[in-house]
Every structure is written in structure tokens, then in C-alpha cells.
């Protein structure tokens, strides 16, 4: 079929026993549309579905026309797909035209693949998963508001399922496919005549399509919300939704249970009744669910008390962190077992570990010191461009232990066990300077020097310990003793250039960000932060500061990077500004890679937000509010009545590390300068990757900027805030931060 009326057909999107849907192009505007056309492919099936002894096709055609007329009447509802046009072909075949909406709920929660065979056949991006409760509740509310009007009009959908919940460009629900275009096939039908999708169809609908009621749709909606909140289907003796999402509250949990009743008389009679009860259920804690930023899963709103069911898991994680300074692979099975008892899946467990680790590091200097001590060793021991010395001299070994005791609160025996587990032992006598020089001659300027400034290695926590002399010593000892002295090896020197002092400071600033998952985006602010969605992040490295002038200027001096203006504010440790995305990716990063023998890149947008949050789920990593003592921004504005308006604006950049770091040890993730990320610009998250990779589709002439700047009010500093910026432009509010793969 090349055309349908005046529309040029591009391809078939789907077909069933009674109709088909095509992607087509409208005349004049060339806008893409979806066209549903009535087609009966099997008269026998038509007869079964209608119980009509004669002219079953005519009965179905009239039902199709009635559906189209009803949908046209409902098109004013913002949550029901609108009809743009209606007509018939020359042979009388009816069709109607809708906007083309390529994104469905199925892409957010994955396919219902719950067997090993199905999982292996399903792309990883479509593996089943649950949504953040706030996103699930938002979708449920919109579905109920749409379906309430459908039921008031006397129409029954018959086929509520993830694939029939579409999203517009703003991330809002668009209910489609009102039960007539498709006859269930073997994949979707249990009875063959029940007209509905197997996993979502009500018990009475399985028996007969003729006796469905609005309560049948209510059941399907109940399955849908259960699937969104739990990542599971309510099969057999299933657990209540509250076991997976405690934050929904008992009243909403009971409502979901009622909707899932096998007896249709016990369900809400229709979507309107469901909606009224829903509004009552969430009214008392709407701020916790509908407006929450991030997951809000672990800590009750406005309290520091951990939810009771999570306490055993939290205690086990904290014990491991106190004993060994990290969570290791061998610990995962035990933690998985504890998590499964309370219904946490792998992604939720990873997220909880990240949050607990960050909180543990902040709870005391000793905890932070141990995490730093272990993290520093790990970073040097896993650096692809360095060969750690597993055997060190007794003097060096003793120094590591001494620094560990002074910074971690651990006794000597505990630290020795940790070093032993890392394969680091005292096994050599210190060489004399003379013999060492004879074996490996080198220029005097290559001799390792003590650290010149108070600096901490990257890791879970930053900053609070930065002034500690013991930490300064720790950096020096870990960098030299564990990292080893490699300049004596001519082969290493030959393949890996020795970077300048300025570039070396960049290398030393890389922080290891632990992997995990988080909820990206926000329901507050503009539509470009929607829909809220879960993203999994692999471990990676990120600079603890923005790239400074001292790190960028050598590229300019070498004639590789174009000149950039500092606006008279000074260079040094201020973030570099007035640089283009294209110059960064095509000139600076290749130059830096050549200088260091390493591979740098811009962070992905998902990596940036994950790292900026540092395990938090509030609008800012400082909490629900932010003030000018916490970031460099325009204090002439307030956020959400926080009372932080001061009228103060520095009107320029500040030196990096002028404000406290976030829980991952990263500075200036709020304010100072906007930061470029890898991704192309998209004006919503519909279709965004869920694996933390860069989204390289969309408007690739524009880059994404994150973090806000000295010239913005606090709203732009929100962790979910994002704007577009042409890759060929530069500005005095825009800079960058670099990342590396592990």
C-alpha cells in the first residue's frame, strides 16, 4: 500500500486480525502521522469475536466507526491520543489519522520477558525493570484522568498494556489503540477470543470478550501500575506492591490490591472511581511521591531515620565498609540475599550501596579516612598506565601503616590485613641512593618530589579532610610507594610521554566514581527533564574540578587550541572559559591524549548527573536548597522559597575548590561554569539510553550544558537542569570537566 487517501505510506507499524496501523507522511507539511485503517483479514475470527451470525465484518466496521467518532469527541483530553483526520477509501474502507508517537511505556519498563529464554531473546535495553515510584504514580494519574473520560463516554478500552501507553514530546501519556484494530494473536491472547493482551487482561475478559465492563479496564490498569512499581507481574501469590515500593503508603497499596481483585465487583467500578480513591490515597504524602526528586526510596521524607526493613542491609554494608573500606565482589552474594528478602533488585541494591557508602563516609573522619586510604591504593593498583609495586621496602610499608593509623582509626593489624588482601607486602630492603642511581640513571629533575599542595586523591568523599597533614602524607605515600617509580624504565618513558606539571595536576585530579543506578531527570522544571527514568552507570573516572586555565593553557601555547579570553578575571586555578565544544573534542582532548598517553573524553550526560548527585536525591547535592556559601551563582534569586536570596553576585568565576565538595569528592558541580557533556541535544528524555552511554541522536549541532554558572539563578543549578548550546559557540559562563573509562 503506497498511499492511504492523501497520505503517503512510509511503512506498516503493526497489524492484527481487524486492522493495521501505518506510518505515513502528510501532504504539504510532510509531518509524520500514524494511520489506523479498518481491515478484516479473517471472517471466521470476526464471527467469533462478535458472535454475529451474519455480516460480522459489518458489525466490526460499525464498531470501528463508533470508536473513531468517540475518540474525536475525546480528543480535547490531554491524555488521549487525538484524531487529526477521518475519511474513507474509494471502496468505503474507513481510516483515521493520529499524531505519530514513537515512544511507549514499554520502552521505559521493558518487555514482559520473565523467563531465561525470553530474556536471552530480548535486547538488554528492553529487559523488564521497574520505574521510580514518582514516575509510576505520575503515569498512573494521567492514565486514570484519560480513562475516566473514556468510561464516562461509554467506551471500554479492552487492551490496556505498556505498548498502548504512548508519550508525547513533553513526556505526557497518550492512550491509544482502543480495542478494535487488533485481535489478540498467539503472543498476546490467552483464550483466542478475549480481545486483550495476555498479561494484562481481566479474568472475565479471558472467558469472553462480550461481557467486559469498565472494571475490566480497571484490572488492566492495576496490572500496569503493579508492573511499573515492582518490575514484576502480579502472578500467582504475588507480593503487595508496597513490598517493592514502601514509599507508596498503605492506602495506595490497598487500592492497587482492590484493582487486581479476581472479582470485578470488588474492584473500583470504573476509572473515575479509581481516580477519586487515588487522589485521596496520595493527598497526604503527595510531596513524597508525586513531587519527589530522584528515588526518595531509602530515607523517609524530612527524616534521617532509615526505613525499618532496610536496616539489616544498611548495617551489613556499614560493617563491611568499616572493616575493609569498600564493598568487594565477594560481598555481593550476601548482600543480594539480604536485598531479595525486602524485594530490592540488583539495580536498587547498587543504588542503595552508593547512598550508604556516601553517608558512611560523611559520618566521621575515621570512616572517611579508611575509604580514602583503600580507594587511593585501588586507584593506583588499577591504573592501566602504571605498574604497581606489590613488594615495597619495610620502611615504605611502615610509613603506609603509620599514615593509615593516623587517618582511619584502624589498628595496625586491621590495616596489615587490608594490605595483604591487596597483595602489597614489605619484601625489599631500601636501596642506597648510590646503588639505585647506578642501576637506573636518570635526570635529577625526575626524582619524585613530595606533594606541593594540600590535595586528596579522588574517591567517595572529598574535602572535609583536605587540611589534614596526615592526608597530605597519605597522598604522597600512596602515589610513590604503591604507584612505584617508573621513570627509571626507559621503555615506559618511551611509550608514555612525561606530562608537564600542569597536565600532571589534571591526571592527579581524576576521581573514581563507583558504578550504580539512579533516577535521572525531574518532574519539576521544564519538559526537557522528563520523563524521569532509571539509568545504570558503570564505574568511571571524573575530574574532581573543572578544567582550569593552568590545565588548558599549555594546549594554547603549543599552538593546538585556539586562543581564549579570561575576561580579565585571571587564569591559574580558575575554570577555563570561552571554549567551544568542537575545540574541546577535536583539539584539546586529542592533544591531551597525546601528551599523557591516556584517553580522555567528555562525560556523558547521565554520568554527569549521577556523579553530581553523589547518591543524593534532592534538587541539589546540598539538599532541598542552596546558598551562595555553597556555590558560585547569582544570589539575586531564590529557589522554592528557601530564603537564600542575598542580592550577591560575584559576576565572574572563582578558583576551583572554593566551595565544599559533594559526597563523591567533586567540586563545583553546582555553579561557577556550565559544563559540556558528550551528548547531542534532545528536548526530552523520551528514548534516552538507560545504560549511561552518550545519546548521540537528536540535534547534534547543539551540545548539552549542565550545572549552571556564576551568571544564573539557583534554578539553573538544580541537578536535573539542562540547556542546549551550539557546539560552535563559546561564552564566559561555559567550561568543561573531563572523564575517563575504567
Which CATH number characterizes residue 613's domain? Answer: 3.90.1580.10
Return d(Cα 307, Cα 323) in angstroms, integer.
24
What's the confidence (pLDDT) of residue 418? Answer: 76
Return d(Cα 122, Cα 111) in angstroms, integer.
8
Return d(Cα 295, Cα 280) in angstroms, integer.
22
103 pLDDT above the threshold of 50: yes
Whether 302 is in a domain gets the answer no
Which of 364-368, 405-409, 506-510, 700-704 is the most confident on average? 700-704
What's the confidence (pLDDT) of residue 125? Answer: 66
Q: Assign 491 a pLDDT band (cuts: 50, 70, 90).
A: very low
Q: Which DSSP string corresponds to 135-172?
A: HHHHHHHHHHHHHHHHHHTT-------GGGEEE-TTS-
One domain, residues 275 and 250? yes
Range name among 358-362, 511-515, 608-612, 702-706 with the lowest pLDDT average: 358-362
Nearest Cα neighbor of 58 from 35, 83, 92 is 92
Whether 44 is in a domain gets the answer yes
Q: Residue 63 is placed in which grid cell?
A: 464498531
Return d(Cα 73, Cα 626) in angstroms, integer.
47
The Cβ-side half-sphere exposure at 527, using a 13 Å CA radius, reads: 10
Return d(Cα 434, Cα 438) in angstroms, integer.
6
Q: What percent of the chain has pLDDT over 70?
A: 72
First to last CA, the chain: 51
The continuous run of DSSP H or E covering 3 comes out as strand 3-4
Nearest Cα neighbor of 209 from 185, 233, 192, 226 is 192
Radius of gyration of the chain, Cα coordinates, nearest whole angstrom: 30
Q: Assign 718 a pLDDT band (cuts: 50, 70, 90).
A: very high
Global pTM? Answer: 0.46
Return d(Cα 488, Cα 500) in angstroms, integer.
18
Which of 56-65, 325-334, 447-456, 509-518 is the most confident on average? 509-518
Mean pLDDT of the chain: 77
One domain, residues 346 and 384? no
Return d(Cα 278, Cα 306) in angstroms, integer.
26
Return d(Cα 436, Cα 64) in angstroms, integer.
89
Whether 414 is in a domain gets the answer yes
What's the confidence (pLDDT) of residue 229? Answer: 92
Among 69, 100, 131, identify where a domain stops.
100
One domain, residues 525 and 491? no
Mean pLDDT confidence for 170-198: 55
A 10 A CB-CB count for 141 gives 17
Return d(Cα 595, Cα 498) in angstroms, integer.
7
Q: Are 676 and 705 in contact (CB under 8 A)?
A: yes
Say if residue 36 carries a ligand binding annotation. Answer: yes
Q: Residue 550 is placed in which grid cell?
A: 593552568
pLDDT tens per residue across span 305-330 = 455 667 788 888 888 887 777 788 78
Question: 485 catalytic, yes or no?
Answer: no
**Selected catalytic residue, list 42, 87, 91, 159:** 159
Higher local confidence (pLDDT), 458 or 59: 59
Q: Assign 601 a pLDDT band (cuts: 50, 70, 90).
A: very high
Whether 378 is in a domain gets the answer yes
Q: Are 602 and 739 in contact (CB under 8 A)?
A: yes
Question: Residues with Cβ < 8 Å from 123, sequence gap 6 or more?
Answer: none
Return d(Cα 605, Cα 696) in angstroms, integer.
11
Counted domains in the chain: 5
One domain, residues 401 and 349? no
What's the confidence (pLDDT) of residue 362? Answer: 60
One domain, residues 331 and 414? no
Strands 734-735 and 674-681: parallel
One domain, residues 455 and 598? no
What's the confidence (pLDDT) of residue 146? Answer: 95
Buried b (16+ CB within 10 A) or exposed e, 256-280: bbebbbeebeebbebbbbbbebbee
Contacts 24+ apart (CB under 8 A), 248-255: 248/133, 248/137, 248/289, 249/281, 249/282, 249/284, 249/285, 249/289, 251/280, 251/281, 251/284, 252/278, 252/281, 252/282, 255/281
Q: Which DSSP string corresponds to 614-643?
A: TT--SSBTTBS---TTTSBS-TT--STT-S
Return d(Cα 226, Cα 232) in angstroms, integer.
7
Dihedral of alpha carbons 142, 144, 147, 153, sign: negative
One domain, residues 270 and 134? yes
Question: Residues with Cβ < 8 Å from 428, sequence gap 6 or more?
Answer: 391, 392, 393, 394
Whether 299 is in a domain gets the answer no
Nearest Cα neighbor of 613 from 560, 654, 683, 663 is 663
pLDDT tens per residue across span 499-511 = 567 677 788 888 8
Whether 438 is in a domain gets the answer no
Return d(Cα 154, Cα 147) in angstroms, integer.
11
Range name among 417-421, 613-617, 662-666 with the lowest pLDDT average: 417-421
One domain, residues 251 and 264? yes
Residue 531: cis peptide before it, omega within 30 degrees of 0: yes
Q: Assign 682 a pLDDT band (cuts: 50, 70, 90).
A: very high
One domain, residues 275 and 370? no
Return d(Cα 683, Cα 170) in angstroms, integer.
8
Question: Residues with Cβ < 8 Å from 109, sequence gap 6 or more?
Answer: 128, 129, 130, 131, 162, 227, 228, 231
Q: Which DSSP string corresponds to 69-119?
A: HHHHHHTTSTTBPPP-EEEE-TTS-EEEEEE----BHHHHH-----SHHHH
pLDDT tens per residue across span 192-208 = 334 557 789 999 888 87
CA angle centred on 223, ends 220 and 227, rounded to 5°: 140
Q: Is 493 exposed, middle or buried (0-12, 13-18, 19+ CB in 10 A)?
A: middle
Domain of residue 226: give its range: 103-292
Q: How distant, in Å, are the alpha carbons of 285, 296, 343, 699 from that of 136?
A: 15, 13, 17, 28
Question: Residues with Cβ < 8 Å from 594, sequence gap 6 or more?
Answer: 497
Mean pLDDT confidence for 528-557: 91
One domain, residues 118 and 92? no
One domain, residues 698 and 618? yes
Q: Are 523 and 159 in contact (CB under 8 A)?
A: no
Whether 503 is in a domain gets the answer no
Q: Assign 710 a pLDDT band (cuts: 50, 70, 90).
A: very high
Return d(Cα 428, Cα 606) in angstroms, integer.
45
Q: Residue 566 is placed in which grid cell?
A: 579570561
What's the confidence (pLDDT) of residue 54? Answer: 58
Among 292, 316, 337, identify where a domain stops.
292
Q: Residue 736 is placed in which grid cell?
A: 568543561
What's the confidence (pLDDT) of residue 379? Answer: 57
Question: Residues with Cβ < 8 Å from 602, sequence gap 6 or more?
Answer: 584, 585, 589, 676, 677, 678, 736, 737, 738, 739
Range name among 279-288, 423-432, 654-663, 685-694 with the lowest pLDDT average: 423-432
One domain, residues 220 and 286? yes
pLDDT tens per residue across span 330-389 = 888 878 777 766 666 676 677 678 777 777 766 655 566 666 677 666 655 544 444 444
Whether 568 is in a domain gets the answer yes
A 10 A CB-CB count for 508 gives 15
Q: DSSP label at 241? A: G
Among 100, 135, 154, identify where a domain stops.
100
Q: Are 715 and 709 in contact (CB under 8 A)?
A: no
406 pLDDT above the threshold of 90: no
- Give me the phi and psi of 434, to 5 degrees please: -70, -50
The continuous run of DSSP H or E covering 681 comes out as strand 674-681
Q: Which DSSP string corresponds to 388-439?
A: --SEEEHHHHHHHHHHHHHHH---HHHHHHHHHHTT-EEEEPPPPHHHHHHH
Q: Is 346 exposed, middle or buried (0-12, 13-18, 19+ CB in 10 A)?
A: middle
Amino acid at each position: 500500500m503506497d498511499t492511504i487517501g492523501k497520505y503517503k505510506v512510509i511503512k506498516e507499524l503493526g497489524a492484527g486480525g481487524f486492522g493495521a496501523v501505518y506510518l505515513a507522511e502528510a501532504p504539504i507539511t510532510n509531518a509524520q502521522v500514524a494511520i489506523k485503517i479498518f481491515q478484516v483479514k479473517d471472517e471466521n475470527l470476526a464471527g467469533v469475536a462478535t458472535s454475529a451470525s451474519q455480516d460480522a465484518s459489518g458489525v466490526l466496521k460499525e464498531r470501528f466507526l463508533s470508536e473513531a467518532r468517540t475518540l474525536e469527541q475525546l480528543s480535547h483530553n490531554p491524555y488521549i491520543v487525538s484524531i487529526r483526520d477521518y475519511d474513507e477509501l474509494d471502496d468505503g474502507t474507513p481510516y483515521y489519522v493520529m499524531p505519530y508517537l514513537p515512544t511507549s511505556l514499554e520502552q521505559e519498563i521493558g518487555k514482559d520477558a520473565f523467563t531465561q529464554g525470553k530474556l536471552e531473546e530480548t535486547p538488554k535495553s528492553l529487559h523488564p525493570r521497574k520505574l521510580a515510584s514518582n514516575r509510576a504514580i505520575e503515569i498512573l494519574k494521567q492514565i486514570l484522568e484519560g480513562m475516566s473520560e473514556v468510561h464516562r463516554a461509554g467506551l471500554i478500552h479492552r487492551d490496556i498494556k505498556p505498548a498502548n501507553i504512548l508519550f508525547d514530546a513533553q513526556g505526557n501519556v497518550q492512550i491509544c489503540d482502543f480495542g478494535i484494530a487488533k485481535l489478540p494473536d498467539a503472543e498476546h491472547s490467552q483464550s483466542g477470543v478475549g480481545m486483550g493482551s495476555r498479561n494484562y487482561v481481566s479474568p472475565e475478559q479471558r472467558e469472553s470478550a462480550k461481557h467486559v465492563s469498565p472494571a475490566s479496564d480497571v484490572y488492566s490498569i492495576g496490572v500496569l501500575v503493579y508492573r511499573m512499581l515492582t518490575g514484576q507481574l502480579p502472578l500467582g501469590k504475588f507480593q503487595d506492591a508496597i513490598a517493592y515500593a514502601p514509599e507508596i503508603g498503605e492506602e495506595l497499596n490497598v487500592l492497587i490490591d482492590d484493582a487486581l481483585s479476581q472479582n470485578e465487583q470488588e474492584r473500583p467500578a470504573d476509572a473515575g472511581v479509581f481516580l477519586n480513591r487515588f487522589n485521596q490515597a496520595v493527598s497526604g504524602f503527595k510531596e513524597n511521591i508525586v513531587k519527589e526528586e530522584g528515588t526518595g526510596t531509602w530515607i523517609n521524607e524530612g527524616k534521617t531515620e532509615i526505613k525499618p526493613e532496610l536496616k539489616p542491609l544498611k548495617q551489613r554494608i556499614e560493617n563491611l565498609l568499616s572493616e575493609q573500606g569498600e564493598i568487594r565482589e565477594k560481598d555481593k552474594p550476601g548482600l543480594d540475599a539480604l536485598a531479595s528478602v525486602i524485594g530490592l533488585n540488583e539495580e536498587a541494591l547498587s543504588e542503595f550501596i552508593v547512598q550508604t557508602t556516601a553517608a558512611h563516609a560523611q559520618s566521621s573522619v575515621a570512616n572517611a579516612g579508611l575509604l580514602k586510604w583503600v580507594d587511593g591504593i585501588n586507584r593506583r593498583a588499577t591504573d592501566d598506565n602504571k605498574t604497581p609495586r606489590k613488594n615495597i621496602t619495610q620502611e615504605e610499608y611502615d610509613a603506609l601503616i603509620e599514615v593509615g593509623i593516623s587517618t582511619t582509626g584502624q589498628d595496625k593489624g586491621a590495616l596489615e590485613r587490608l594490605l595483604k588482601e591487596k597483595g602489597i607486602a614489605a619484601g625489599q630492603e631500601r636501596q642506597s641512593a648510590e646503588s639505585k642511581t647506578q642501576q637506573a640513571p636518570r635526570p635529577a629533575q625526575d626524582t619524585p618530589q613530595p606533594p606541593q599542595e594540600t590535595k586528596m586523591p579522588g574517591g567517595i568523599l572529598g574535602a572535609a579532610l583536605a587540611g589534614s597533614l596526615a592526608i597530605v602524607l597519605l597522598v604522597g605515600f600512596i602515589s610513590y610507594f604503591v604507584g612505584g617509580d617508573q621513570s627509571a624504565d626507559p621503555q615506559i618513558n618511551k611509550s608514555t610521554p612525561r606530562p608537564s606539571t600542569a597536565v600532571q595536576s589534571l591526571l592527579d585530579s581524576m576521581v573514581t566514581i563507583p558504578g550504580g543506578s539512579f533516577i535521572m531527570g525531574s518532574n519539576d522544571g521544564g519538559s526537557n527533564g522528563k520523563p524521569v527514568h532509571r539509568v545504570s552507570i558503570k564505574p568511571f573516572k571524573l575530574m574532581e574540578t573543572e578544567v582550569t586555565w593552568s590545565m588548558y593553557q599549555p594546549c594554547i601555547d603549543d599552538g593546538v587550541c585556539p586562543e581564549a579570553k579570561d575576561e580579565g578575571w585571571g587564569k591559574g586555578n580558575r575554570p577555563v572559559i570561552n571554549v567551544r565544544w568542537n575545540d574541546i573534542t577535536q583539539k584539546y582532548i586529542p592533544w591531551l591524549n597525546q601528551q599523557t598517553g591516556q584517553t580522555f573524553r567528555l562525560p556523558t550526560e547521565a554520568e554527569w548527573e549521577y556523579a553530581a548527585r553523589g547518591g543524593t536525591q534532592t534538587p541539589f547535592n546540598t539538599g532541598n536548597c542552596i546558598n551562595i556559601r555553597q556555590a558560585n551563582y547569582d544570589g539575586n534569586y531564590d529557589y522554592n522559597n528557601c530564603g537564600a536570596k542575598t542580592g550577591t553576585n560575584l559576576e565572574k568565576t572563582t578558583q576551583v575548590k572554593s566551595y565544599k565538595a559533594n559526597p563523591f569528592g567533586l567540586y563545583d558541580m553546582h555553579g561557577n561554569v556550565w559544563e559540556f557533556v558528550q551528548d547531542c541535544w534532545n528536548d526530552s528524555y523520551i528514548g534516552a539510553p538507560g545504560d549511561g552511554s552518550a545519546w548521540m541522536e537528536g540535534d547534534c549541532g547543539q551540545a548539552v550544558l549542565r550545572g549552571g554558572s556564576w551568571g544564573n539563578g539557583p534554578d539553573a543549578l538544580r541537578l536535573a537542569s539542562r540547556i542546549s548550546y551550539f557546539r560552535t559557540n563559546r561564552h564566559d559562563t561555559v567550561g568543561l570537566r573531563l572523564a575517563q573509562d575504567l
